[in-house]
Structure 1
């Protein structure tokens, strides 16, 4: 007879964990594992990485989940390897080979293709993606052998470098806008080179202001005790590092948290991070228009109290 499973006692955890997602895990599987290790009661991620991709995956807990959309929209940087001359049904190494062509690529070809795909481009989303049509993910249609029409998307490739690794493999470094499919970019590069291609590996090395050097692996997280795991969390305000900053006094902070606009000598700004002066605390986001601070996404007083209490406990720990 199987022993009963121990029920995990959940708790309020607030902050951002920069995870180095392992190969073979879906983003949700990685999230659920980290959530279990932290015993967190609320969590979400900031955009999916394919199971065959590794790298930077910011995970949001508690109050930080309110600002996860900001990193869904962030620019991202990837390093990929592409196998030239072989096209697959999925655009990566998991798919079946659908064509083989000889590879004859010169440095001039690579320079031409880099220029061709740098800047604004249009992409047709791949069938093997989580985009939905009529409430059903495209990859579900693909598994059934059904191909549906997809509208092209406008995306921006901010930086593109293609370097030869060997006779039929290239390394692709791409800094891109939101919504860019690197598998599709790899396939399109292969077609532009006249030989076809598929991705054999993919790693996200940066998203927004976060980079791979800041990340922790699930393996390392498992080896830590609870205090060490909590110490890996960045504060929720790390998601709004690029925002202008406004600090409010006690009375204005209380009214702002209740959703009221505040007036002040602030210049107009679309993205503002708002803090309270006493006690020092992140309150949420806003925008400023005509001298008015207009609330956006706000923490609630309980979340703020929990964050302050956790900070006090951490400082008190020897």
Structure 2
């Protein structure tokens, strides 16, 4: 009994887990399960993934939670099926069928319409979404039977590719920015083709630099323990992709971790940066900015040593 209690003792653990979320598990459940498996004091995720969706759910432990906003802002890649012929209340397979159509688009018609859904486009989010309306979640209001007037929003879509096409289902890959609703995209593509459709399957293949290539399944995590399980984690710095890195020495790192700015020396030292992160010996020290040649910390990241 004492050994079991010792295994479950909460510990200071920091790093990123590129988790491959299975079907029918909510993002909240995933965080709870992984926090328990790792015995971590603190954990969170970078971007909700629907229970019926699979794929990349970045899990942050400890100090990595301070880098969550940056990971959430990373480019996303989704692979999804449009199930042709029916529009549902939720724009996925969970909802009730609202309208049907016998029309099935051919591949050339689909290829012709997809450019209309790239670049900056306007979407009306699904009624069953987490958007707040009057302080309440839209999905709570929708479940209560309220008719919702969902506010349109602009989103950025870099590109859409056809992976496979058939009479009943088409599989697409979309590269997009934060805030894009794939369910709304499937619905609107179908409407543009003169038919109806909903998401029949959804997989998130990438969030920033976290992708299927370095994703870890629940089975893989559960089959190892101790140091081998910890070795599956990426460092806190892995969540700071695409931000300028400012390398500092031990003395400067100690100053920054006290919340104080440091002067950056050297011919190539930046004078001004809106966003940057400081590192020392490969470890993240702080998120911050560079102003007048000084690195100024906004969020200090404690040493994992």
TM-score bracket relative to the smaller structure: over 0.9
Write the distance in 2 (CA, Å) between the matches of 1:177 and 1:248: 32
Write the distance in 2 (CA, Å) between the matches of 1:164 and 1:63: 41
Structure 2 partner of 1:94: 94
The structure 2 residue matched to 1:294, chosen from 290, 293, 296, is: 296
| Paired residue secondary structure (1:216) | coil
Write the distance in 1 (CA, Å) between the matches of 2:177 and 2:246: 28
| Paired residue secondary structure (2:158) | strand
Conserved 8 A contact 2:256-2:262: yes
Q: How many Å apart are 1:164 and its aligned residue?
A: 4.5
Structure 1 partner of 2:235: 235
The C-alpha deviation readout for 1:113-166, integer Å capped at 9, x for no partner, is 111101110111111111112222111111111122222111011011235432
| Paired residue secondary structure (1:148) | coil
Structure 2 partner of 1:311: none
Conserved 8 A contact 1:103-1:168: no
Structure 2 partner of 1:248: 248
Conserved 8 A contact 1:67-1:297: no
| 1:106-185 superposed matches below 5 A | 106-185=106-185
Structure 2 partner of 1:272: 276
Structure 1 partner of 2:195: 195
Write the distance in 1 (CA, Å) between the matches of 2:84 and 2:233: 40
The C-alpha deviation readout for 1:86-109, integer Å capped at 9, x for no partner, is 111111111111111012423331
Conserved 8 A contact 1:114-1:162: no
Conserved 8 A contact 1:127-1:139: yes
Decide whether aligned partners of structure 1 residues 172 and 281 sit closer, same or farther in structure 2, where only a CA change above 3 A counts: closer
Conserved 8 A contact 2:74-2:207: yes
Q: Which runs of 4+ in 1 moved over 4 A?
A: none
Write the distance in 2 (CA, Å) between the matches of 1:230 and 1:163: 36
Q: How many Å apart are 1:281 and its aligned residue?
A: 3.4
Write the distance in 2 (CA, Å) between the matches of 1:79 and 1:166: 16
Structure 2 partner of 1:281: 283
- Greater alpha carbon shift after TM alignment, 165-174 vs 16-25: 165-174
Write the distance in 1 (CA, Å) between the matches of 2:264 and 2:9: 44
Write the distance in 1 (CA, Å) between the matches of 2:249 and 2:177: 37
The C-alpha deviation readout for 1:203-248, integer Å capped at 9, x for no partner, is 0000101111211111221111222211100000001122222222
**Aligned-CA RMSD value:** 1.6
Structure 1 gap segments, 5+ residues each: 309-318
| Paired residue secondary structure (1:102) | coil
Q: How many Å apart are 1:83 and its aligned residue?
A: 0.7
Structure 2 partner of 1:316: none
Structure 2 partner of 1:69: 69
The C-alpha deviation readout for 1:163-218, integer Å capped at 9, x for no partner, is 54321211111000100000010001110111110111000000101111211111
Conserved 8 A contact 2:107-2:165: no
TM-score, normalised via structure 1 length? 0.89
Write the distance in 1 (CA, Å) between the matches of 2:253 and 2:13: 23
Number of residue pairs matched by the alignment: 297
Structure 2 gap segments, 5+ residues each: none
